[in-house]
Copies of this chain bind each other. A is one copy, B any other.
């Protein structure tokens, strides 16, 4: 059976690392930032603008984060957002023609007809704060307060985007096959076990 694995994740939970290592362990492709680049090529929008839409970052997509629905967004902006959604849908379906791991971007929902194995990665706040503080940001230097705010903002954005796009609840167990808590866990140590579960569940 084709192996399509989707990974949803809380910010700072190590979901991206888990997805990448899982793809290595299974010897299949891994897609994450490539999707944003693909959408940029498809739509001519900048990668920054696209990240704003698909991760619903407050500074990038102000009306959505303060409003209750897309009714607050002007027609012009709405048509841009729909172009991004449509390109994202097309690119993810295209990537999933072969075995792969896809991180984020509502891939679990977009690929629902492919019976993907849907993982959600999460951790407690302290552990996520530590992961965010430990990892090197690209040229960034944030205070602890700013990192805490970023974790909250990112998760709020992801949840809002997922809930709007899928009509389901982000991180609710019924939308996933496996939910993995990475608090005090070394991710590379548990990837073998997860790969084994995926292989047996999609044999």
**A interface, CB within 8 angstroms of B:** 120, 122, 124, 171, 173-174, 176-181, 183, 185-186, 189-190, 192-197, 200-201, 203
Determine whether the beta carbon of A181 is less than 8 Å from that of B185. Answer: no
Taken together, the copies of this chain in the complex come to: 2
Determine whether the beta carbon of A189 is less than 8 Å from that of B193. Answer: no
**Chain B residues with CB under 8 A of A124:** 174
A93 to B179, alpha carbons, bound, how many Å? Answer: 27
Name the CB-closest residue of B to A180: B178
**Chain B residues with CB under 8 A of A180:** 177-178, 197
Determine whether the beta carbon of B177 is less than 8 Å from that of A181. Answer: yes
Determine whether the beta carbon of B200 is less than 8 Å from that of A193. Answer: yes
Determine whether the beta carbon of A190 is less than 8 Å from that of B179. Answer: no
Determine whether the beta carbon of A197 is less than 8 Å from that of B203. Answer: no
